[in-house]
Structures are given as C-alpha cells and as structure tokens.
C-alpha cells in the first residue's frame, strides 16, 4: 500500500468518525493500521481474511504500532462466508481489498453492513491501468469495470474515484 493510499484511508475513517470498520483482506495489517489511526479512540476494526498467518502478522503489527488488542477483531475465513454474520447497518466504513472476482458481492454486503452516511472503499480499482485499457482483459478487470459501473449508476451511493496508489473507489451510502 502506498503512503498516499494509507493517508487517504486514515482521512476517510476520520471523516466518517468511524467507530466500527469492517476490512475485507487483512493482509499484513498495513491498511488496518491506517484505518485504526483515523478511527475514534474507542473504535474497533473487524478484519476478515482466509489466511490465518496474515492475521497473525497483522496482530503483531497492530501491537507494535501501539494499539490495544481490543481495538481489532480478527475473523478467519472467506469474506462471503463471514460478512453475512455481521450486523446490518452496524458499520461506519467497509474497506474492500479482497478477491477482485467477488467485488460485486462485497458491494452488496457492504450496502447491508453500512449505516446511512457510511462509506465503502475499494482498493486497487485501476488494476495497474488495465481498467482503462482497450482490448481483451482478464475476468478480474472485467469485474472491476462492472463494479465501477454499478457504483456510478446506483441511486443509493455518492461515489468518487481517488487517484492514489492503484486507485480508491469510494462511495457514501445515502
């Protein structure tokens, strides 16, 4: 994750005064650290990843960054298996950095999870420039194009595409 992307995540979390954030794709914890820095001091990050070792790295990174263990909830598993168990309208921000083939499903789950005024953020929507290139593209790029179209055309969302890192697609739920 680029420093600009991290700064944007921190800003977005602070903008919605985030107390509850759901993260799809824990990775090594870099995005989670930025989100936690932008969240309220009593905020909790719920992070989902199918790889337990990713969550272990993130747990260590959060601790090394000075965050108390009660600031993050780690749920191992596939996002589409875990997200349906999370509370409707219980989140201020949903950050999606998981399987690009599932991005439309993440959007549907995010709309259910977010409170009105909440924010959904998708990382990597430029796909290293492939989302705007002509010619045949892999399925993941076609899915990202569908995601961009769905968010742009939705009456329930106010979208913006931030040109930081590999692209952050953000949308506020009306």
Q: pLDDT tens-digit profile of 55-65? A: 999 999 999 99
| C-alpha pair distances (Å), 106 with each of 14, 100, 158, 160 | 22, 9, 17, 17
Question: Which stretch of DSSP H or E encloses residue 10?
Answer: helix 3-15
* 93 φ, ψ (degrees, to nearest 5): -150, 140
Q: Is the pTM of this model over 0.75?
A: yes
**Residue 38, Cα to own-chain centre: how many angstroms?**
14
Q: CA 142 → CA 37, 87, 111, 148, distances in Å?
A: 33, 30, 21, 10
pLDDT in tens, 105-145: 999 999 999 999 999 999 999 988 888 777 788 999 999 99
């Amino acid at each position: 994750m680029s420093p600009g992307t991290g700064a944007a995540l921190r800003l977005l979390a602070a903008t919605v005064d985030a107390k509850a954030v759901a993260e799809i794709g824990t990775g090594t914890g870099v995005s989670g650290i930025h989100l936690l820095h932008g969240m309220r001091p009593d905020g909790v990050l719920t992070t989902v990843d199918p790889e337990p070792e990713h969550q272990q790295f993130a747990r260590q990174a959060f601790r090394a960054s000075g965050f108390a263990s009660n600031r993050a909830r780690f749920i191992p598993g596939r996002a589409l298996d875990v997200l349906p168990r999370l509370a409707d309208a219980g989140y201020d921000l949903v950050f999606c950095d998981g399987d690009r083939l599932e991005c439309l499903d993440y959007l549907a789950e995010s709309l259910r999870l977010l409170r009105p005024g909440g924010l959904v953020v998708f990382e990597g929507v430029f796909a290293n420039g492939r989302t705007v290139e002509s010619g045949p593209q892999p399925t993941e790029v076609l899915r990202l194009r569908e995601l961009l179209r769905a968010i742009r055309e939705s009456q329930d969302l106010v979208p913006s595409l931030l040109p930081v890192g590999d692209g952050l697609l953000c949308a506020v739920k009306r």
